[in-house]
Every structure is written in C-alpha cells, then in structure tokens.
Amino acid sequence: MVAIWSPETKFRIWYEIEAHACDAQAGLGVIPKENAEAVWKAKDVEFDVARIDEIEAITKHDVIAFLTHLAEIIGNDEARFVHQGMTSSDVLDTCFNVQLTRAADILIADVEKLLAALKRRAYEHKDTVRIGRSHGIHAEPTTMGLTFARFYAEMDRNLSRLRDARAEIATGAISGAVGTFANIDPAVEEHVCAQMGLVPEPISTQVIPRDRHAAFFATLGVVASSIENIATEIRHMQRTEVLEAEEFFSKGQKGSSAMPHKRNPVLTENLTGLARLVRMAVVPAMENVALWHERDISHSSVERNIGPDATITLDFALARLTTVIDKLVVYPENMLANMNKFRGLVMSQRVLLALTQAGVSREDSYRLVQRNAMKVWEEGKDFKEELLGDADVLAVLSAEEIEEKFDLGYHTKNVDTIFARVFGEE
C-alpha cells in the first residue's frame, strides 16, 4: 500500500497516461506516430525523483517538471507532442484515481482475508456458549460463533461497499482545461482509460467530480467503524473480570515496564484509535466536493494527505485485525463461569414466558419472576432452586417444566439457521 503512494509510482502512472495519450493522438493522426513511439523509450527507465523535484523548485509546477524530465530522457524533439491538448489535471486526477483503485484492490483483499479468519473462528466456536449482554449486563445465552458470524456479516457488507467504492473512483478524464474536449478528442480519453483499467468520466470539468471521492472516503470511514466495533468487543472480553478471550501474547513481548502479569489488549485498543484516524478523512473529503466553477485547488492538499494516510492506515488496521482474530485465545470455560455468575438469573426471560403461556397474566408473571430474581440478586440464592420452592410458581409449572427452562440447548437451537443465512447453505 505504501508503494502505491511513492513518488516513483506516481511518476510511473503519469508516464503511462502520457504515453497512452500519445498513442491515441497518433492513431487519430494528430501527432506523428514516431513521436508517440519515442515516448515508450522511457518504458523501463526509472525516473529521477530528485531531478524532478529540482526542476519543480524552479517551475513551481509538478507536471511541467515531470514533462521536462521526460524530455531529458527521450529527447526534446521527440517529446514535443507529449501532453498536447491536455491539462495538468488530466494527468493528476486520472493518476489519483488509479492510485485509489489500486488501494481499493488491496483493501478488498484485506477484507477477504479477514472474512476467512472470521469464518474459520465462527465455525470453530459455533457451539461455544457464552452469555449475551445488553447494556453490559447479562441477558441470554448466545455463542461465540454467533459473535464471529455477525462480524463476518458486517465485514461482508463492507466488502460490497468497498467494491462499490472502487467502482466509484475507477474513472479517468482527459478532457482539457474545462472539460470540453476542445483541444483533444474524446477518443484519447477512452483509450487512456481502457489502458489504465478505468472507465471515462462521463462529464468532467478540469477535474473529476469530487462527490466520487467523498463517497469513497465515507466508505473507508464505515469500514473503520466496523473495525472499532470488533475491537471494542475484544477489549471487553479481555477485561480482567471478564477474561473470555485474549489477544495472542508472544513470548518475548513485555506488556508493561513494571507489571509482568498484565496482558493488555493493546492491539485492539490501537485499532480503536486507527478507526478514528481513518474516520477523520470523511468530513474533509465531503468539504472537497464544492469546488469553485470548473475547479479550484483546495481539494489537493487534503487529498495528498488523506489519500495515502487513510488507505495505508486502513490497510494496516485490517491486517492487524485479521491477525488478532486468527490468533485470538478464547476461554470457553471462563465463558461458562461468567454465565453462571448469577446462578440462573439469565433464564428469567424463559420462565416469564412459560408463566404467560401457562395462562398467568403478563403482569402477574412479571411479579412472580421478579420476586424470585431479587432473592438471587440480593441474597445470593440460586434462581432455579427458588422457583422450585415457590408455591405460586409450582401451581402453574411442574418441576420438570422448570428444569427444562434452564437447558442451554434451547438458546442454541437456531444457530445453524443463522449460520446458513450468513455463510450460505452448506
């Protein structure tokens, strides 16, 4: 990902755009074929970034600096038709979209790897029961596999979004100073785009419209927020009092300069921060949309920064998250211990339902459950025992029926159905 944003890559893409444009111009008879061919002499030449910077320091114009350097390589005479009829933005904007498209390809591959890890862990822990929590409070049992599966489904949506985002910015424009093709035939744009893996922008001004980039960075922001979502779950799981899972801890690693027993979820905390970094690109990308007339250059400094920063950070974050998921140490026995912390209270919903179904009014059922639950909560009693000793409850539910309400299988019976929805029927 870092290579995509190097000056070398940028100049290489500029060069390809210019060379393909010359080919198209020669095909149209606008420039001599031999001049177009001459440009390809630089095909395998490595451009001298320092030299280009040197020229730019004088001309204060990056594209002219590059073209001057290109002429130094292929000869002034041979280079005279290069860039003809084009404007700098034709090169800059098409190049930026090539870079974003390649970045999107990497991010898509990143998410695919993450999905593979999530799917593997989901099946591995399909039946590993843990307590589901709302508001950080125990609710009903679920399974660790369902947790992985829902992250899979969320990331699968992000995969679709990234593919859409890629399509959004896979356009190029070679349309001249204000987008009218006054000095260049639309066929040149078509040829260059086809060669660079892009589609022609249907209508551009001097620049490619920035709503495309806003949508692209907004998508990165959504993906980053999903990373934060997964990271937050793991951070909670690794808390001392919960300890249902831990990030992998390599032997040589020191968690703290002074407390050797601490195994801190630093990777997922880091991912939480990285999510904020990616997300901060969203608003400026949206502020970039309203350029003045056929363009102003206010978007440029923003993009030079968020282009590499947001994609490199997201690439790093996705790879890191994949490692975390892949190596996450899961503690099923702690999950069971946590679930039983309040001695059956998590089954109160089932009991409530059973009472209602047995004909007790909703309000009465609620009161029956509540009075037994409070004894568990406040006096440390066992919920099932209390129910079995409550005459009013026994008047409507048999001991067997009460026992049945504490069967975990009841809660996992639809896991296969959900897995089929998420991963497809297999």
DSSP SS3 for 32: coil
Within residues 12-41, the interface with its own copies by CB under 8 A covers none
**For residue 177, which phi and psi values (nearest 5 degrees)?**
-60, -35
- Pick between residue 116 and residue 280 the one whose CB is nearest to its own copies: 280
Within residues 216-275, the interface with its own copies by CB under 8 A covers 218-219, 221-222, 224-226, 228-229, 231-233, 235-236, 238-242, 250, 252-254, 256-266, 269-270, 272-275
Output the 3-class SS for 360-411.
CCHHHHHHHHHHHHHHHHHHCCCHHHHHHCCHHHHCCCCHHHHHHCCCCHHH
Residue 398 contacts its own copies per CB under 8 A: no
Residue 196 contacts its own copies per CB under 8 A: no
- Pick between residue 260 and residue 400 the one whose CB is nearest to its own copies: 260
Residue from 132, 332, 358, 394 binding its own copies (CB under 8 A): 132
Residue from 20, 125, 212, 381 binding its own copies (CB under 8 A): 212
Our answer to whether residue 213 is catalytic in this structure is no
Least distance from C-beta 142 to its own copies, angstroms? 5
**273 token code pair:** 């921060």
Other beta carbons within 10 angstroms of residue 259's beta carbon come to 9
Cα–Cα distance measured from residue 312 to residue 324, given in angstroms and rounded to the nearest whole number? 18
Residue 61 contacts its own copies per CB under 8 A: yes
Cα–Cα distance measured from residue 32 to residue 36, given in angstroms and rounded to the nearest whole number? 7
Nearest in space to 7 (alpha carbons), one of 65, 47, 42: 47
- Residue 319 makes CB contacts below 8 A (sequence gap 6+) with 110, 113
Residue 400 contacts its own copies per CB under 8 A: no
According to DSSP, residue 109 is labeled: H
In a 13 Å sphere around the CA of 35, the CA atoms on its Cβ side amount to 21
Residue 311 contacts its own copies per CB under 8 A: no
Residue 6 contacts its own copies per CB under 8 A: no
Residue from 40, 123, 181, 406 binding its own copies (CB under 8 A): 181
Identify the active-site residue in 135, 250, 257, 293: 135
The H helix count followed by the E strand count for the chain is 19, 6
Our answer to whether residue 135 is catalytic in this structure is yes
Residue 92 contacts its own copies per CB under 8 A: no
- Quote the distance between the C-alpha of residue 234 and its chain's center: 17
Least distance from C-beta 425 to its own copies, angstroms? 13
- Pick between residue 8 and residue 296 the one whose CB is nearest to its own copies: 296
Residue from 169, 373, 393, 402 binding its own copies (CB under 8 A): 373
Residue from 7, 34, 53, 349 binding its own copies (CB under 8 A): 349
Residue from 277, 319, 330, 358 binding its own copies (CB under 8 A): 277
Identify the active-site residue in 6, 160, 256, 398: 256
User: Do 80 and 35 contact (CB within 8 A), yes or no?
Assistant: yes
Residue 110 contacts its own copies per CB under 8 A: no
Stretch that binds its own copies, among 6-14, 16-24, 144-152, 385-393 (CB under 8 A): 144-152
Between strands 199-200 and 171-172, the pairing is parallel
What residues act catalytically?
Answer: 135, 256
